[in-house]
């Protein structure tokens, strides 16, 4: 969906932003995120976290020079360079990282989990550095910038990479100014079954958010960029899992429950920012309201190469427009 272009008269009074989250290593989605600056005619992009992909996909060179990989349980074989590059593109489209290996290298990684983890993190960092370079180039051409933070799934090593950008602004745990509005950002989530890198108990998460919010000069005009959505907001509905991380069924159907953060809901209720932007729960795409605050989770479908996002227009102390978009 392409939105109407803004006029010059609107520019001085309005802030128009594009928000997306949870691209999880999808090169296609990252490129679409950058292209959103021109497509939706916005100068400010916000990426709400979970940048890293979920896994490495080894591509092993065989004795005859062919390369083999397992993708979605299916063996894929590349017989020449063209097919190998096509295989790597297919892997990246699904949010995974292709890694060319010799058979001996694969065996070494299988036998040494620490080596495998180190190799995985190195690939994440290298790929993200390439993303930042691409963003600097594309956004300079578009006259835009991107405010980017990690999410709960992301390793700590990516934070320094984000700091390297010129058009990429590393915004986590900071107050940034976007036009007449201030924005606070937080990459942490409440506790999850997966015990990911950036998780906190609710009281510790609230203390972190409160410390950020207390720095705001005009909280009623603020933007909250918080990776995890507020509890029981319609933005945090997911399938309940049992102790074995299997879906809980009721009446033969997955049982859905709210899984967002009580701390995030509390800080929104207390501060009442203009808008709060969230990711984390991919399947809970929605726009809600908490008091005067417009709360948005555009969802994520990164594995298909489709990016979900939202375009938000702020005018003075009100949300003039908000639209969920996909592309």
Q: What is the mean pLDDT of residues 78-100?
A: 90
Question: Which pLDDT band, with edges at 50, 70 and 90, does 2 fall under?
Answer: very low
Please tell me the predicted confidence (pLDDT) of residue 12.
52
Q: Give the SS3 label for residue 251.
A: coil
Cα Rg of the chain, angstroms: 21
CA angle 87, 118, 200 (to 5 degrees): 105
Tell whether pTM > 0.85: yes
Q: What is the mean pLDDT of residues 173-196?
A: 96
Task: Say which residues have a Cβ less than 8 Å from residue 248's Cβ, sequence separation at least 6.
Answer: 239, 240, 241, 242, 254, 255
In 10 A of CB 285, how many CB atoms? 18
Spatial separation of the C-alpha atoms in residues 185 and 218, rounded to whole Å? 16
Question: Which pLDDT band, with edges at 50, 70 and 90, does 146 fall under?
Answer: very high
Is residue 303 within 8 A of residue 266, CB to CB? The reply is: no
Q: What is the mean pLDDT of residues 191-201?
A: 94
| Polymer length of the chain | 327
CA angle 221, 226, 229 (to 5 degrees): 110
Strands 189-190 and 199-200: parallel
Please tell me the predicted confidence (pLDDT) of residue 193.
92
Could you tell me the two tokens for 199?
Answer: 């998780």
Question: Structural domain boundaries of the chain?
Answer: 8-54+116-326, 56-112
Please tell me the predicted confidence (pLDDT) of residue 316.
86
In 10 A of CB 140, how many CB atoms? 12
Burial of 41 (0-12, 13-18, 19+ CB in 10 A): middle
Q: Which residues pair with 184 in a beta bridge?
A: 175, 224
Question: What whole-number percentage of the chain has pLDDT above 70?
Answer: 96
Question: Which pLDDT band, with edges at 50, 70 and 90, does 182 fall under?
Answer: very high
Which segment of 34-38, 95-99, 154-158, 297-301 scores lowest on mean pLDDT?
A: 95-99
Q: What dihedral do alpha carbons 13, 20, 26, 197 form, nearest 10°?
A: 120
To the question of domain 8-54+116-326 being in CATH 3.60.21.10, the answer is: yes
Spatial separation of the C-alpha atoms in residues 38 and 152, rounded to whole Å? 29
Please tell me the predicted confidence (pLDDT) of residue 7.
35
Task: Say which residues have a Cβ less than 8 Å from residue 154's Cβ, sequence separation at least 6.
Answer: 49, 50, 51, 52, 187, 197, 198
Q: pLDDT digit string (tens) for 51-73?
A: 999 899 999 999 988 999 998 88
Tell me the average pLDDT of the chain: 93
Whether residue 4 is predicted with pLDDT greater than 60 in this model: the reply is no
Q: pLDDT digit string (tens) for 253-279?
A: 999 999 999 999 999 999 999 999 999
């Amino acid at each position: 969906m392409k939105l109407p272009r803004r006029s010059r008269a609107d520019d001085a009074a309005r802030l128009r932003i594009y928000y997306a989250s949870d691209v999880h290593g999808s090169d296609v989605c990252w490129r679409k995120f950058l292209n959103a600056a021109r497509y939706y005619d916005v100068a400010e992009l916000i990426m709400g976290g979970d940048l890293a992909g979920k896994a490495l996909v080894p591509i092993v060179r065989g004795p005859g020079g062919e390369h083999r990989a397992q993708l979605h349980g299916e063996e894929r074989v590349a017989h020449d360079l063209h097919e190998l590059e096509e295989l790597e593109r297919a892997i990246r489209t699904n949010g995974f990282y292709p890694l060319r290996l010799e058979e001996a290298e694969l065996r070494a990684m299988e036998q040494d989990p620490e080596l495998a983890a180190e190799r995985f993190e190195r690939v994440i960092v290298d790929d993200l550095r390439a993303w930042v370079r691409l963003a600097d180039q594309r956004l300079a051409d578009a006259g835009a910038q991107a405010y980017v933070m990690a999410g709960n799934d992301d390793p700590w090593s990516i934070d320094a990479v984000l700091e390297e950008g010129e058009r990429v602004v590393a915004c986590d745990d900071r107050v940034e100014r976007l036009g007449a509005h201030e924005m606070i950002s937080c990459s942490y989530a409440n506790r999850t079954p997966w015990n990911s890198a950036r998780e906190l108990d609710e009281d510790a998460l609230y203390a972190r958010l409160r410390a950020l919010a207390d720095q705001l000069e005009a909280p009623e005009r603020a933007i909250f960029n918080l990776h995890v959505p507020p509890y029981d907001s319609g933005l945090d509905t997911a399938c309940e899992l049992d102790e074995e991380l299997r879906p809980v069924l009721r009446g033969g159907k997955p049982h859905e429950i709210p899984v967002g953060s009580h701390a995030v809901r509390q800080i929104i209720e207390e501060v009442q920012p203009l808008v709060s932007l969230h990711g984390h729960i991919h399947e809970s795409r929605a726009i809600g309201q908490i008091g005067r605050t417009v709360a948005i989770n555009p969802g994520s479908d990164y594995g298909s190469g489709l990016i979900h996002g939202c375009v938000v227009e702020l005018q003075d102390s009100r949300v003039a427009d908000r639209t969920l978009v996909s592309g």
